[in-house]
Structure 1
Amino acid sequence: MSERTTFQDQPHRTVLLRNGTVHSPADPFATAMVVENGHIAWVGSEGAADSFADGVDEVVNLEGALVTPAFTDAHVHTTATGLALTGLDLTGVRTLADALERVRAYAAARPADRVLLGHGWDASTWPEQRPPSRRELDEATGGRALYLTRADVHSAVVTTALLDLVPRAREISGYAADAPLTGPAHHAVRAAAYDSVTPAQRAEAQRAALARAASLGIGSLHECAGPEISSADDLTALLALAAQEAGPRVTGYWAEAITSVEGAARVRELGAIGAAGDLFVDGSLGSHTAWLCEPYADLADGAGQRGVCHLDAGAIAAHVIACTEAGIQAGFHAIGDAALSAVVEGVRTAADKLGLARVRAARHRVEHAEMLSPELIAAFAELALTASVQPAFDAAWGGDDAMYARRLGPERARTLNPYAALLRAGVPLALGSDSPVTPLDPWGTVRAAAFHRTPEHRVSVRAAFTAHTRGGWRAIGRDDAGVLVPGAPADYALWRTGDLVVQVPDTRVANWSTDPRSGTPGLPELTPGGPLPLCLRTVVGGHTVYAGPNE
């Protein structure tokens, strides 16, 4: 593979930032920081900063702004996020009629598109409690091909014209005459829909997603690609774009099961660091495809009423063994308790064969990991599995009256996403969005973890922030980044915010402390529904990748 010149190869400037607040464990009272050669060179007090002022290329007066490590979003689908940003996005639409009207308007505005692409409907929030029918979509699009994914991206409604492009979709599992497509039928039409995206459209979408991420203080993304969710061309194009243009770092995962050295070589050829991400063990709760030990509460018991199994424990073990022996990360998408039990069984089998220490050292990961029992949490800790989780899922669908409770019943729903128990057990956490399933929104993600709808699962703002910064780096095997200390990569963000506090999740005591004697760096005060910090600048490797208009 030929060498590429990257934006990180550009000359670095030595920069002194001063007169603000620097969130650093190296000095909890730091007000200044020096960046040199793309790394943090010094963190300290305003008075000591004077000694650096004459030896730098630039002095930034923070004017009281907060400096933090840039966020890492540990689970993103970049092209799909960009297509939602630039295309038809039904996120937040309140009724079926409104959804159909948006489809109609979008079809009229895009006469040249071979396939219309849309995302984000969630009928569980609509008064009609049903998705649009194929007949309704055929009428709204004027008979054109349309691919429209549910919010969780595990099912989609499509028009007759799109099905006509993929005749075999009507003959395989997951097809229903007038219901959302799931499983293999969904994967078949998704491939056909995304094949219609031109390289220029794809690059436009990827740039839009990366720009949005940078504007939110996100310095790194974990791209969860795979043959059933995107394509090899999509992944390689994204990694090339991210390397060549200023923006967040992108770490690629390729979700394809491997059983050999040749399979691992394929992963490396694509530029991915692991055969992980959305390697599906099951589906999603919203689409009734998460694999459960007990039936869904809103479906009658019987075949198929416990969801879908895509990989059993034997296949999981074979994949983990092959990845561990090849020196790459393994990982899985697993949401339901049956799926998570299969993951634990499979990884334990691999540990029995290769040795526990070797499997632990590989830092294999599990995406979503929602229905965890105490026994499964203990197993995650034993096997050193990283839980890559999305607190915005709980914000969107948690609580006794929302989708999780309807699918599972309130009692089972209250067990979902037990972040506090994971941290207590020592399970590494990495936070993300699964965008476009939920939006890129790092401070909103931190707030969702701190104000979990089930109080016993709440974690402190500091713990959530750490999982959304340093936790993402640790999930890719880097312990030297995601924190502002000398020697760390200069990936940071500047914020305009209010008072800095040390919030705790325990409602039995005062909800936060501002006592400077604690020696704990403060973070912005977050409240349900309250304002979030405004990103002024995002820097990656010492290079500015976003500068806001109000900086």
Structure 2
Amino acid sequence: MSSSNGTTVIRHAPLVGYPDDKLYTVRVVDGVVESIDEESEGKHINGYDKAAAEEIDLGGKEWLSPSMIDWHVHVKLQALHSNRIDLQKCQSASEVLEVVKLALNDPRYDSKQEKNLVGINMRNSNWPDENFLTKEKLNEISPNRPLFLLFNGYHSMRCNSLALKQTKFGENEKEHDGFLVEQDAFDTFPILTTANDQVIDNWILQEGKKAATMGVTEIVDLEMEHNIVQWQRRYKNGNNYLRVHVGMYTEHLKDAIELGLTSGDDIPNTDGLMKVGPYKIVTDGSLGSQTAFCHDHYPGNKSNFGIYYYEPKKLSELIEYGLKYNFKFAIHAIGDKANHLSLKTISEASSKPRKGSTIEHAQMLNLQTISIIDEKTGKVKEHNDLELFKQLDLIASIQPCHLVDDRDLCHKFWPGREHKAYPFKSIVKAGIPIKLGSDAPVSPMNPWEALAVSVTRAGENDEHNPFIKDEILDLEVAWKASTSNGKSRLEVGERADLCILQSDPLKQNAAGLRAMQVNGTMLGGRWTYRNF
């Protein structure tokens, strides 16, 4: 079940977001925070059956807070992550080849378990020999096993011949260079792993348990597959560690529509733990693959402005389709022109999107009013993307850790435009609400790392070197964007999704956030993790 039918009383608890010189008793009944009472000498909190209730005494030393949410996860990919070769630290194509060569003989990657050998997280911003990573080189080191080597972001990959033969290019494999980008790369996802559902479901269950140890109780799952039936099966088999908003892509909407469901509705047979999530539309590519759609061309290639997947008419049709069935949207837009065109098309729809709809990533935005030639009239019009973003009542769903991963790529591929990249503070100052996520496995699901990056715009031990210092977020703003209730503190009457922390997160610097210890996580009144 998604919630507890019992009573839990947590005493002598400092509460995050409340006066820090007070202690409180929090009473949870049937999965809901029924009362929060300030304690004082001689005052006793009664009104419950002590014999039937679980009592927990924090002794004034641990902090009670809302639990955490991750607004952008690819759960299956994240689960597969641990069974793939992490190539993130490779500093050259030559090093990638050496690491993969060793992995081919590593028992952890036994071909009897997985026919394909998959590498992930290649970051080529500083490679001196990028052109060295070819299909022919991959064939040399792995003539008998398919190789799929993915660049960070999962928007592009390199393959050997055996891997290509599994794709739609198999018949013409000899003529193909083995580099797959955007949709061609996405189309390979279903064939990357040969593990069966039972194995993968167990990996996903372990990811849910791991998330609970970090205080996470809720995710938005934007996996690219028919996810309703997948999550029904996982829940039936005991996966009840997270609330899941199950995202839809265009080809999946019928799954919900045929059941008479839309965003926010409970998925049948999951006891309210799984809900239909947003309708995701991917409008452009990514920075690392130089396919994020921008107003300016990429360095060294005056014809490459990135990729925008839809003509305005087609994107408009998709938006109207989602509106017809009352779905919330999750619109992927990374480049500044992709954001501009997406916002403009949404603004011209028959109605505003449902509240709670998001622009996913919003990595580069025009921060000032710009002049754009209207394609229909040929006239110059003034546009302010931040104002339009706010007027549409959209949420910016951002992934702070991408900033650390991509800062070198920003300098390489968006030179002179870095000030428009990851404009967190500017988004907030414009009155646009934000939500934090990871895009796991592109970045690990770790809300504490995301918070640390938000308030420093730098990675661990690099805090003295922030990327565009003026865009640093205030801690309380970032905290509210990370909690499951969207607030800084617990409130009476809300569902009992909470966690016990070793210290007050609102009093921490980046190091303190990264070191945060979670001692307990409760979902709907039920402990999903406890270290006491």
When normalised by structure 2's length, the TM-score is 0.83
Q: CA deviation at 1:321?
A: 2.1
Aligned partner of 2:477 in structure 1 is 463
Match of 1:518 in 2: none
Q: Where does the alignment leave 5 or more consecutive residues of structure 1 unmatched?
A: 1-6, 475-480, 501-521
Question: How big is each residue's C-alpha offset from its partner over 1:199-258, in whole Å with a ceiling of 9 and x where there is no partner?
Answer: 1232122123212211211110100023xxxx21x5532354247433111111112179
Query: Partner residue of 1:329?
Result: 328
Counterpart-to-counterpart distance in 2, 1:80 and 1:539: 25
In the alignment, what sits opposite 1:138?
A: 139
Pairing partner for 2:433 from 413, 428, 431:
428
1:486: Cα distance to partner?
0.8
Look up the match of 1:69: 66
2:393 is the alignment partner of 1:395: no
2: CA distance, partners of 1:254 / 1:379: 25
Partners of 1:267 and 1:289 in 2: how far apart?
36
- State the shift of 1:61 in Å: 2.0
> Residue by residue, what CA displacement relative to the aligned partner does 1:312-364 show, whole Å, maximum 9, x if unpaired?
332222222222232211231110111111111111111xx33xxxx154432
Question: Which residue of the partner structure matches residue 378 of structure 2?
Answer: none
Structure 1 residue 523 and structure 2 residue 521: aligned?
no
Residue of structure 2 equivalent to 1:296: 298
Alignment of 1:95-494 (within 5 A): 95-108=92-105, 109=107, 110-112=110-112, 113-126=114-127, 128-129=129-130, 132-168=133-169, 177-178=176-177, 180-194=179-193, 196-226=194-224, 231-232=225-226, 236-242=229-235, 244-256=238-250, 264-265=257-258, 268=261, 271=267, 273-277=276-280, 279-297=281-299, 299-302=300-303, 305-350=304-349, 353-354=350-351, 359-374=352-367, 375-398=384-407, 402-409=408-415, 411-452=416-457, 453-470=467-484, 483-494=489-500
Question: Match of 2:495, as an amino acid?
Answer: P
**Residue 286 of structure 1: SS of its match in structure 2?**
coil
- How many pairs were matched up? 488
| TM-score for the superposition, normalised by structure 1 | 0.81
Structure 2 gap ranges (5+)? 268-274, 368-383, 458-466
Cα deviation, 1:75-134, whole Å, max 9, x if unaligned, reads 000011011123322333445454334423433321212222332121225454567332
Q: For the residues of structure 1 that align with 2:129 and 2:48, how far apart are their CA atoms? A: 64
Q: Which amino acid aligns with 2:481?
A: A
Matched position secondary structure for 2:97: helix
8 Å CA contact retained: 2:288, 2:406: no
In 2 relative to 1, CA 37–360 (structure 1 residues): closer, same or farther, beyond 3 Å? same
Distance 2:38 2:356 in 1: 37
Counterpart residue identity of residue 77, structure 2: A
Instruction: Name the amino acid aligned to 1:204.
Output: N
Contact 1:14 1:36 in 2 (8 A): yes
What value does the CA root-mean-square deviation take over the aligned residues?
A: 3.0
* 1:38 pairs with one of 11, 31, 42: 31
In structure 1, what is the Cα distance between the partners aligned to 2:127 and 2:206? 29
- SS at structure 1 position matched to 2:169: helix
Shift of 1:385: 1.0
CA distance in 2, matches of 1:187, 1:178: 17
Identity of aligned residues (%): 20
Per-residue CA deviation, residues 486-530 of structure 1 (Å, 9 max, x unaligned), is: 111111111223xx4xxxxxxxxxxxxxxxxxxxxx624123697
Contact 1:254 1:276 (8 Å CA) reproduced: yes
User: Matched residues in 1 for 2:437 and 2:157: separation?
Assistant: 23
Q: Quick check: 2:165–2:171 contact (8 Å CA) kept in 1?
A: no
Partner of residue 546 from structure 1, selected from 521, 529, 532: 529
Q: CA offset at residue 447 of structure 1? A: 1.4
Q: Is the 8 A contact 1:257 1:275 kept in 2?
A: no
Contact 1:433/1:441 (CA < 8 Å) preserved in 2? yes
The CA distance in 1 between the partners of 2:502 and 2:513, in whole Å, is 15
Whole-Å separation in 1 of the counterparts to 2:292 and 2:278: 21
Task: Mark the CA change 1:385 to 1:407 in structure 2 (over 3 Å): closer, same or farther.
Answer: same
